[in-house]
Amino acid sequence: MSLRVKAVVEKFVKELKEALDADIRDRMMKEREMQSYLQEREREVAEREAAWKAELSRREAELARQEAKLKMEKENLDKEKSVLMGTASSQDYLDGALEITVNGEKYRCLRFSKAKK
């Protein structure tokens, strides 16, 4: 009978070792799959982050170009205003003349008339 018990115990131990080995293999495979999944997700996130940073950089460069263009247009407009519009002072003169400054040169107008249509 002891041989029979010994055989049952050995069979049980063998089946238990096989089950443990199978469980260990399954866990290792799941661990590898999880690592592979995590690496793929990290790569995807890194790619999206790089694309986002590139887009941000492109937009910042475009914004800087537009700001420079607007600044230059404003300066040109200010120059045109000073040339075309001039500045007029009030009629403080005894003769009622209006003094106009255009591009740094002063002009005096003694008489005004309406433009013909």
State if pTM tops 0.85: no
pLDDT at 36 over 90: yes
DSSP state of 98: E
Contact 67, 77 (CB under 8 A): no
As a whole number, mean pLDDT of residues 94-103 equals 68
Rounded CA-CA distance 13/21 in Å is 12
As a whole number, mean pLDDT of residues 84-98 equals 58
3-state secondary structure of 103: coil
What confidence score (pLDDT) does residue 28 get?
97
What average pLDDT does the structure give for the chain? 84
pLDDT at 84 over 70: no
- CA atoms within 13 Å, Cβ hemisphere of 94: 0
Among the residue ranges 8-17, 50-59, 76-85, the one predicted with the least confidence is: 76-85
